Amino acid sequence: MKILVTGANGMLGKDLCPLLEKHGHEVIKTDIEDLNIRNKPMVMDFVKANKPDLIIHGAAYTAVDKAEEEKELAYEVNYHGTKNLAKAAKEVDAKIVYISTDYVFDGTKETPYTPKDKPNPKNIYGFTKLEGELAVQDETPKHYIVRTSWLYGKNGKNFVETMITLAQKNPKLKVVADQFGCPTYTIALAEGIIKLIEDNAKFGTYHICGGGQTNWCDFAKKILEFAGINTPVEPINTTGFPQLAIRPKYAVMDNEGRCPSWEDSLKQYIERR
Ligand SMILES: NC(=O)c1ccc[n+]([C@@H]2O[C@H](COP(=O)([O-])OP(=O)(O)OC[C@H]3O[C@@H](n4cnc5c(N)ncnc54)[C@H](OP(=O)(O)O)[C@@H]3O)[C@@H](O)[C@H]2O)c1
C-alpha cells in the first residue's frame, strides 16, 4: 500500500515508518516542515498530488500541560489539522487512521474503557483530540480511530527514560500511585496498527495499548527493576505532584488482545536500549 504518515519525525512516527517499509509498504513520510496540517490548501494539494491508499495521522499537538495555556494552537492542530487531512483523504478515496488518546475519557470508571464507552475529556489536550475524532467521523466513513496511552519509545522524551535518568541522580524517587493506565511501547503500537490495516479490519474505533494495567509508581518500579537500578520508589498521591492539566484517575483501556502485556513490552524496550 502507498501510505502517507503525518508526524513521521515524532516518537511514534520514527518507529512506525521503518516498520511499515519492512512490511513492503511505500511510505510518504511527512512532518511539520513539509506538510503543516494546519494549512488546509497545502494538505489538499499534497494529498491529491501523492494519492495515498491510506493516511496514518500521527501528527498532533501533544504537550498535555502546555495545551491548558495554548488552547487555540492545540485546537488548531488537533481539530482543524485532523479535519483538513480527513477531508483530503475522502477526496482521493484514501482510508485514514487517526491516533487518539485515553485522555478522551474522564477516568471515573472502575473497569477498563471499551471503544463503546462515552468520552468525556477533563483537559484541553483530551478535548482537542476528541474533536479530532469527531472530525474524522464527520468527514469520511473509511476511518480507524486508534486510541493509545502512556506511550514510550526510543525516539522521544518519555516516562521510562525520565525515571531511569532521575533514579541515577537521586537517592529515592516519589511517584504518583493514584492514576491508573496502560503503558504502551511505540513498536507494539506500530505493530498493532499494521495488523489492523493489513487485516482490513472493520472501520471504527479501536484501543491499541499495552495489555493489563498499572499506576505510574508501579510502572516506575518495574522500569528500574528491568534496568537493574536499585533506587527506591515511594508512592505519592496526585496532590503531591500538581500539574496544569487534570489527568483521568483511571485511564485503563481494554485492548482486546491487540498488544502484548505492558510488562513484556517494557522488558523488550529495556533490553533493546
Ligand atoms: N505520547 C503519548 O503518551 C501519547 C498518548 C496517547 C496518544 N498519543 C497520540 O499518539 C500520536 C503520536 O504521539 P507522539 O508521542 O509520537 O507525538 P510527538 O512525538 O509529539 O510527535 C508529533 C509530531 O507531530 C508534529 N506536528 C505538530 N504540529 C504539526 C503540524 N501543524 N503539522 C504537522 N506536524 C505537526 C510534531 O512536530 P514538532 O515536534 O515540531 O511539534 C511531531 O513531530 C499523537 O497523535 C498523540 O496525540 C500520544
pLDDT tens for each residue of 223-269: 999 999 999 999 999 999 999 999 999 999 999 999 999 999 999 99
Average pLDDT taken over every residue of the chain:
98
Return the best residue to mutate from 4, 6, 12, 79 for the ligand 1 pocket (most ligand atoms within 8 A of CB).
Answer: 12
Q: How far apart are CA 259 and CA 174, in angstroms?
A: 29
Residues 2-151+182-207: name the CATH superfamily: NAD(P)-binding Rossmann-like Domain (3.40.50.720)
Q: What is the mean pLDDT of residues 60-67?
A: 98
- Tell me the best of 14, 30, 32, 36 to mutate to test the pocket of ligand 1, counting ligand atoms within 8 Å of each CB and taking the most: 32
Domain with CATH 3.90.25.10 in the chain: 159-181+213-252+261-272
The closest of 159, 152, 160, 158 to 190, measured between CA atoms, is: 152
The pLDDT score that the predictor gives to residue 236 is: 98
Grid cell listed for 203:
472501520
Residue 34 confidence class, pLDDT cut points 50, 70, 90: very high
Residue showing cell 522521544: 156
Residue for grid cell 487485516: 199
Residues of the chain with CATH 3.40.50.720: 2-151+182-207
Nearest CA to ligand 1 atom 15: 11
Q: Residue whose CA is closest, atom 11 of ligand 1? A: 58
| pLDDT bracket for residue 152 (50, 70, 90) | very high
Percent of the chain with pLDDT over 70: 100
**Residue 96 CB less than 6 A away from ligand 1:** no
The answer to whether 178 and 236 have CB atoms below 8 angstroms apart is no
Please tell me the distance from the alpha carbon of residue 79 to that of residue 157, in angstroms, as a whole number: 24
| Pocket of ligand 1 contains residue 5 by CB under 6 Å | no
Distance of CA 172 from the midpoint of ligand 1 (Å): 31
98 is catalytic: no
63: CA distance to ligand 1 center in Å?
9
Average pLDDT over residues 61-85: 98
From the candidates 61, 75, 125, 185, which is the catalytic residue?
Answer: 125
For residue 198, report the phi and psi dihedrals to the nearest 5 degrees.
Answer: -75, -25
Label residue 49 by pLDDT band (50, 70, 90): very high
Identify the pLDDT of residue 209.
98
160 lines ligand 1 (CB under 6 A): no
What is the distance between the alpha carbons of residues 142 and 21, in angstroms, rounded to a whole number?
23
- State the pLDDT at residue 183: 98
Ligand 1 centre distance from Cα of residue 59 (Å): 4
| Distance in angstroms (rounded) separating the CA atoms of residues 106 and 224 | 29
**Mutual angle of helices 11-22 and 186-198, in 10-degree steps:** 50
The secondary structure element, H or E, covering residue 14 is helix 11-22
What residue owns the CA closest to ligand 1's atom 13? 12
Mean pLDDT over 210-216 rounds to 98
Which pLDDT does position 74 carry in this prediction? 98
159-181+213-252+261-272 belongs to which homologous superfamily?
UDP-galactose 4-epimerase, domain 1 (3.90.25.10)
Q: What pLDDT shows up at residue 20? A: 98
